[in-house]
Every structure is written in C-alpha cells, then in structure tokens.
Copies of this chain bind each other. A is one copy, B any other.
Amino acid sequence: MSLSMYEASIPVLARMLGNLSNILKKAEANAQARGIDPKVFIDSRLAPDMYPLARQVQVVSDMAKGCAARLAGVDVPSWADTESTFEELQARIAKTQAFLKGIDAAQLDGSEDRTVVLKMRSGDLSFRGRDYLLGFALPNFYFHLTAAYAILRHNGVDVGKMDFLGGV
C-alpha cells in the first residue's frame, strides 16, 4: 500500500480547482479583449443536451465537495446553484477550496473501506470508498472540468493543456 486516500483525493481536487480558476480568469479577460459579453461564455454548451459552462463549474464543485465530505464521513454542504457570472463562479471555486482545506488528512484514514452511499433519482447507490473515489468521483470531476475547458477552447479562448494541468 503506497498512496493514502487523502493524497489521491484532496490535494488533487484542490490543485485542479486552482487550475480551473485560472482558466476562467483567462476566459473573462479574453471576453473583455474581444468585446464579447461574458454571458456568452457562461451560457455556452458543446451540445444542446450538455450543460453550459456555469453548470459544468457547479458540478466540478459538487464532485469535489461531495468526494471530500463523503470520504471524510461528514455532511456534504448544500449550496444553491445560482452562479451566473465569472465573479460568482470564482467565489464558488474559492468556497469549494476552503471546504477542502477544512478536511484533515486523518479524517480520510480508513475511508478506502468505508461505505459511501449516493442518493440518486434511481435509488441509493452504495460504494466502497476506494471504488467511489477511483470509479466515480475522480472520473466525474475530470469529466466536468474538461468539459468546462473544452467549452472555452471551442469558443476560441486562448488556454492550453498547461493551463489544464497547472504546469508540470
């Protein structure tokens, strides 16, 4: 055994949220430079039946706080999904990062075998902690993070892979 549940989750989520924040800053500057109403980016989608940028960012936040809370065995904070400006999305990311910061590494000890239950429309879904992290929380987190990035690239925002990775 070589990785702690903590290091495989919280610092990864926190770092990628920081990258998302920087990407959104570049998107806001790009809208300003091109004389585009920021709402155009905020409401943009890759397909009519995919989420727009604002919702993608909210779900990234939900996946991060849900993962951290469930693995730590604390209540998942419930936040209204009302963000509709870059400023509000930045605040949502900052709030998510503050929540992650409040989780102590020791709270995740043993979470690999803790039972995690997700309330879905279709009923309860039960996972072992390790399967929840590796097979649900991280894939979902990366999915919505990449979708947010791709919406902006699709709209001509000058971000690149290094912005996504946050440097290597």
Known A134-B7, A154-B46: A143·B164 in contact at CB below 8 Å: yes
* Interface footprint category on A: 35 or more
- The interface residues of chain B lying within 8 Å CB-to-CB of A101 are none
- Counting every copy of the chain, the complex holds 2
**Cβ contact within 8 Å between A168 and B7:** no
**Cβ contact within 8 Å between B130 and A3:** yes
**Cβ contact within 8 Å between B168 and A136:** yes
Which of A8-16, A23-31, A74-82, A84-92 lies at the interface?
A8-16
Q: How far is the CB of A112 from chain B (nearest CB, A)?
A: 4
Q: How far is the CB of A71 from chain B (nearest CB, A)?
A: 11
**Cβ contact within 8 Å between B2 and A130:** yes
Contact of A156 among B4, B47, B127, B147 (CB under 8 A): B47
- The interface residues of chain B lying within 8 Å CB-to-CB of A161 are 140, 143
In the assembled complex, A96 has its CB within 8 A of some CB on chain B: no
In the assembled complex, A98 has its CB within 8 A of some CB on chain B: no
In the assembled complex, A73 has its CB within 8 A of some CB on chain B: no
B interface footprint on A127-168 (CB within 8 Å = 1, 0 otherwise): 100100011101110110011011001101000010011001
Q: How far is the CB of A17 from chain B (nearest CB, A)?
A: 12
Would you give 23 A-B contacts (Cβ < 8 Å), ordered by A?
A1-B1, A2-B3, A2-B4, A2-B111, A2-B130, A3-B4, A3-B5, A3-B130, A3-B134, A7-B134, A12-B134, A12-B135, A15-B135, A46-B150, A46-B153, A46-B154, A135-B165, A136-B165, A139-B165, A142-B146, A146-B146, A146-B147, A146-B150
